[in-house]
Amino acid sequence: MSQPSENQEAIWCDLNDAIPLVYFDNTRAILRRARRYLQTSCVGGISKSAGRPINTTNSVLNMMKGALVSNEQSGGNLPPKRPINLEINVAPYPTPVPAPPPLPAAPEDGRTSKQMTLAEAIERYVPDGVESLALGGMHLQNNPMALVRELIRQKKRINSLITSPAASLSADLLIGAALVEEVITSYFGFEHLGLAPAYRRFCQEGRLKVHELDELTLLLALRAGAAGQPFAALPPSIALSDVVTATPHFYTPVQDPFTGKTVLAAPPLRPKVALVVCQQADKRGNAIFKGSTFTDREMILAAETTILQVEQIIPTSQLTRNPMPVTVPGYLVKAVVPAPFSCHPTACHRFYNYDEAHLKEYLELATTAEGFEAYLQKYVLNQGEVEYLGKTSLTRG
């Protein structure tokens, strides 16, 4: 709408739609009367005196008509009448509250989005019979359960499974599904709830090869892989224990080039694929750990391919405003999979706790092969994450 000239004046109501109206130039007295009427006689389209809705447009027109009649009766003492355009903002009662304008879309900078679905990420980046796969999280915290369930749906076999120093449900599910040839680990269990049933059953039956390491050696081997080192030098105290007898080929005596003493070294761990949970990430893979990182960041740095399972996708602009929490650079990540609540039944730091009732149900069923299969049929196979979450306590209560 064009702005009034210096000898024009406009009437504005706190309403929405605009209609054109012909009025007469220099009729400031008429306009003042109309404005005063609107200000003193009605609020939000309600007449103060009658307590009912009024037609604001008709009221203003009648007011102006009466003023013009008075002008003619007065002998035309007011300035000459000349038609011009005026817009009065009016709207029907009741006046709706306008929605806030949408935020402008973030400008594209030419970089490729890495966001994709669970099925697409696993199919594209985890080959069947993958040489080695690392699982992030520890104990009952931050397990990439959505990615693990999709591995089982697609029946992706794993030659060597590398766990964190304390593996739990995510690794136990893959072993119970008979997808793992061997495992490199320090511990399998469910903390206060007991041991890992599928892992224990497969070990007892001789169906799983286990490379048992102490927790520090597992961590140092991942760090050596992340740094590109030829081996990990181990503390002398490890040689004083009998831990080396569990997996002697992993603890190799070497000569210290500086002192000439014999020390132990372990080979670096460089997984082909790492599955890790981050709480937040943008579409390009720049990610934030909201809680403990455990050995997850070492796995990301050491792996050839990393798939992130995230609770929230956030704009890159939010990360650039506060970049300090970003500890996973996007160039290390191949795929970003938004999967809210899909660490369930394990916990996700700063978002939700573990589901103890569900974990107890798993422990009871997975003690036998038949029970484990029943668990898969109920919670994993022939369904997606939406269907799975619909069967959990997240939606039941």
Q: Is residue 319 over pLDDT 80? A: yes
Lowest mean pLDDT among 79-83, 213-217, 390-394: 79-83
* Domain assignment present for 58: yes
CATH number, domain containing residue 336: 3.40.1080.10
Distances (CA, A) of 264 to 138, 218, 282, 345: 26, 13, 41, 39
* Domain assignment present for 140: yes
For residue 170, the Cα-to-chain-centroid distance in whole angstroms is 20
Among 90, 105, 137, residue at a domain's last position = 90
Q: How large a percentage of the chain has pLDDT more than 70?
A: 72
Task: Give the three-state DSSP class for 168.
Answer: coil
Is the separation of the CB atoms in 315 and 288 below 8 Å? Answer: no
* Domain assignment present for 109: no
Same domain (yes/no): 84, 125: no
- For the segment 206-217, what is each residue's pLDDT rounded down to a tens digit? 999 999 999 999
- For the segment 228-256, what is each residue's pLDDT rounded down to a tens digit? 999 999 999 999 999 999 999 999 999 99
Distances (CA, A) of 141 to 94, 120, 136, 291, 306: 52, 25, 9, 10, 19
Is the separation of the CB atoms in 213 and 221 below 8 Å? Answer: yes
Domain span at 216:
118-230+268-396
Is the separation of the CB atoms in 344 and 355 below 8 Å? Answer: yes
Joined together, the tokens standing for residue 112 give 């490729």
* Domain assignment present for 258: no
* Domain assignment present for 253: no
Same domain (yes/no): 183, 74: no
CB neighbourhood size of 297 (10 A): 20
Same domain (yes/no): 389, 340: yes
Residue 345 preceded by cis peptide, ω within 30: yes
What is the C-alpha separation between 21 and 361, in angstroms, rounded?
A: 73
Same domain (yes/no): 171, 299: yes
**373-377 contacts, C-beta under 8 A, 24 or more apart:** 376/152, 376/177
Same domain (yes/no): 75, 124: no
Q: What values do phi and psi take at 353, rounded to 5?
A: -90, 175
Same domain (yes/no): 86, 124: no
Same domain (yes/no): 358, 308: yes
For residue 312, the Cα-to-chain-centroid distance in whole angstroms is 1
Same domain (yes/no): 25, 170: no
Between residues 270 and 66, the one the model is more confident about: 270
* Domain assignment present for 248: no
- The count of structural domains within the chain is 2
Average pLDDT over residues 330-356: 96
* Domain assignment present for 47: yes
What is the C-alpha separation between 169 and 232, in angstroms, rounded?
A: 28
Average pLDDT over residues 360-374: 97
Q: What is the pLDDT of residue 101?
A: 72
Q: What is the pLDDT of residue 104?
A: 63
* Domain assignment present for 1: no
> Strand 158-162 vs strand 180-185: parallel, antiparallel, or unpaired?
parallel
Same domain (yes/no): 192, 67: no
Same domain (yes/no): 45, 126: no
What is the C-alpha separation between 395 and 389, in angstroms, rounded?
A: 7
